Structure 1
Amino acid sequence: MYSTIELTKEGRLARLKLNRPAAMNAMDDVMMKELADAFEALKSDTEAQVLIIQGEGKIFSAGGDIKKMVDPESPMDIGKIMVDVSRLAKALYELPQITIAAIHGASAGLGFSMALGCDVILAEENSKLAMNFIGIGLIPDGAGHFFLKERIGVPLAKQLIWAGEVLNGQAAKEKGLVDQIVPDGAVGQAAEGLAAKFLSAPIAAMLASKKILHEQKIGELENVLRMESEQQVAMRQTEDHLEGIKAFVEKRKPEFAGK
């Protein structure tokens, strides 16, 4: 059914795996659409009560596929992509399941935005987490602004977005970006254990609380997604973005001019 992700269900537990390991689970236009489709399908799933999201291979997700962005053969249509990115983020936030992000290796850019949209984030000690859009002259998308603000508040969200620094699991936990740190290699087992704990609790009441807390914020989320889409399309036209992409491909330090 899907070519870049795997969605499986076992009773009340669903598992979604990002499955482009050769590309470090970087999100191309196909994966973004498939994630949006999968989350929208799960919105109407009345059986599943917990969803674990993880990555196949060495890392959780490297974020948006930068190589695809600059591929002259099949350039990604930013306008079309932002529609799917917005669908993905909104459906994830509205899911009637407890969502667990199980991060190993690295979670960057859009991959980190998606993880931040989950109810509980587990990360391995030496995983690398980065809201690093600024490095290529872009802004967070996938509701990165909204999910960061919800977790750590506006002042810290701004600092994190502007710095674009790479944090290990412990540093991310100290900043409130991660809920639980686990030893390297243990995040899958930890996520399964946490899912089992939730499924043996009065989870209907927990999900009712999630619905009450999230529904108040849907209008704000939609506004953030609209603004992110508009601004990201604008940022893609800037000289700084072109320089950031060029420097990334050429593996050198970018020289930004504020244009």
Structure 2
Amino acid sequence: MEHVTLDVAEGVATVTLDRPEMRNALTSGVATDLIDAIEAVPDEARCVVLAGNGPTFCAGGDIDAMVEGLEGERSEPSERSSGEQRDPRDGAVPAHERVERIVEETAGAVRAVATCNLPTVAKIHGPAYGAGGALAVACDLLLASESASISFGFRQVGLNVDSGASHLLPRIVGENVAKELLYTGELIDADRAEEVGLFNHVYADEAFEGRVAGMVDRIASGPTVALKQSKRLVEQGPTSSFDEAVRNEAAAQIVSASTDDHEEGVRAFVASREPEFEGE
């Protein structure tokens, strides 16, 4: 993978967008590498952290591809009539094909994060913009530094919401706040993002790395099977009735109760000590 790195240590898989010169924008290469990185997370991982290299978490969609597309649309018909099959990111193809390809690639990257069955944490140290905001809210927890900010500024380039944000965002902040953020395209600071429920925690810049590491360690050292079950059940919750939720929980509890971690948890509770879960 050229544009995304994957590092695994002590049960934590850290996936880092690694194109700081492009502000980690979701170009075709970054989006494809991100999907590959999520798929490559090994079985021994117990938590996934998503980060960006450099001062920006993710600047969103590929603006260069949009510019090239606009220039291609303005070109003379003779320049676009060779009949050769072209990359849909090339401006010399019909606009609908180009837009469809860009949206599919970007949404595919967000989908890969949103559907990861492990607990996921977005580590946000700078701006998360547009599709970058969607990528952030695709994670289970959003941990931010004081310098972080977030925007769903699709309107700034004359586009409607995409990358799955219309599904993810209202589930976190509610429809009215989601609509406000989309209608205004406002880049909100960390405190405001925490206030509306987008960021779980905001840490001082100088304490950011240590505080994030502490939270991630708490998750990664937990009973992984049970946490995966809890994640799935919470995501099913909004579309389940109360009785369906109870049945789903009971079925999942059979799985969790059969693990070594459950036995360890019970023994630790009886002995009044901290459990040492192994994720099995």
Under a length normalisation based on structure 1, what TM-score does the superposition of the two structures give? Answer: 0.76
Match of 2:37 in 1: 38
Larger radius of gyration: 2
Query: Given the superposition, is the C-alpha separation of residues 86 and 126 from structure 1 closer, same or farther in structure 2, using an over 3 Å criterion?
Result: closer
- Of residues 90, 100, 108, the one that matches 1:75 is 90
For 1:70, what is the secondary structure of its paired residue? Answer: helix
Inter-partner Cα distance in structure 1 for 2:65 and 2:31: 13
Matched residue type, 1:7:
L
Deviation of the 1:203 alpha carbon: 3.0
Please give the per-residue CA displacement for 1:104-139, whole angstroms capped at 9, x wherever unaligned: 121111111000110110111132211111111112
Runs of 5+ consecutive residues of structure 1 not aligned to the other structure: 219-259
Runs of 4+ aligned residues of structure 1 deviating over 6 Å after TM superposition are none
Inter-partner Cα distance in structure 1 for 2:228 and 2:35: 21
Match of 1:164 in 2: 185
**Are residue 20 (structure 1) and residue 19 (structure 2) matched?**
yes
Deviation of the 1:24 alpha carbon: 1.1
Match of 1:59 in 2: 56
Under a length normalisation based on structure 2, what TM-score does the superposition of the two structures give? Answer: 0.71
Query: Given the superposition, is the C-alpha separation of residues 217 and 20 from structure 1 closer, same or farther in structure 2, using an over 3 Å criterion?
Result: farther
Query: Given the superposition, is the C-alpha separation of residues 51 and 35 from structure 1 closer, same or farther in structure 2, using an over 3 Å criterion?
Result: same
Please give the per-residue CA displacement for 1:51-99, whole angstroms capped at 9, x wherever unaligned: 1111111111111121232135863732222222232232222212111
Match of 2:198 in 1: 177
Inter-partner Cα distance in structure 1 for 2:37 and 2:238: 22
Inter-partner Cα distance in structure 1 for 2:168 and 2:206: 26
Q: Tell me if structure 1 keeps the 8 A contact 2:61–2:106.
A: no
Match of 2:259 in 1: none
Inter-partner Cα distance in structure 1 for 2:233 and 2:112: 16
Q: Tell me if structure 1 keeps the 8 A contact 2:26–2:106.
A: no
Query: Given the superposition, is the C-alpha separation of residues 80 and 40 from structure 1 closer, same or farther in structure 2, using an over 3 Å criterion?
Result: farther
Identity of aligned residues (%): 29
Q: Tell me if structure 1 keeps the 8 A contact 2:17–2:24.
A: yes
Q: Tell me if structure 1 keeps the 8 A contact 2:31–2:108.
A: no
For 2:26, what is the secondary structure of its paired residue? Answer: coil
Query: Given the superposition, is the C-alpha separation of residues 29 and 81 from structure 1 closer, same or farther in structure 2, using an over 3 Å criterion?
Result: same
Inter-partner Cα distance in structure 2 for 1:199 and 1:37: 22
Matched residue type, 1:52:
V
Deviation of the 1:215 alpha carbon: 4.7
For 2:45, what is the secondary structure of its paired residue? Answer: coil
Q: Tell me if structure 2 keeps the 8 A contact 1:60–1:111.
A: yes
Inter-partner Cα distance in structure 1 for 2:34 and 2:236: 21
Inter-partner Cα distance in structure 1 for 2:36 and 2:235: 20
Runs of 5+ consecutive residues of structure 2 not aligned to the other structure: 73-88, 92-97, 240-280
Please give the per-residue CA displacement for 1:139-187, whole angstroms capped at 9, x wherever unaligned: 2222111111110111221111111101110011111111000112543
Match of 1:234 in 2: none
Deviation of the 1:18 alpha carbon: 0.6
Count of aligned residue pairs for this structure pair? 215
Deviation of the 1:212 alpha carbon: 2.0
- After TM superposition, the structure 1 stretch with the greater mean CA deviation from structure 2, 196-205 or 143-152, is 196-205
Deviation of the 1:37 alpha carbon: 2.6
Deviation of the 1:30 alpha carbon: 1.2
Q: Tell me if structure 2 keeps the 8 A contact 1:52–1:191.
A: no
- After TM superposition, the structure 1 stretch with the greater mean CA deviation from structure 2, 45-54 or 64-73, is 64-73
Question: Larger RCO: Structure 1 or Structure 2 (Cα < 8 Å, ≥ 6 residues apart)?
Answer: 1
Inter-partner Cα distance in structure 1 for 2:238 and 2:43: 22
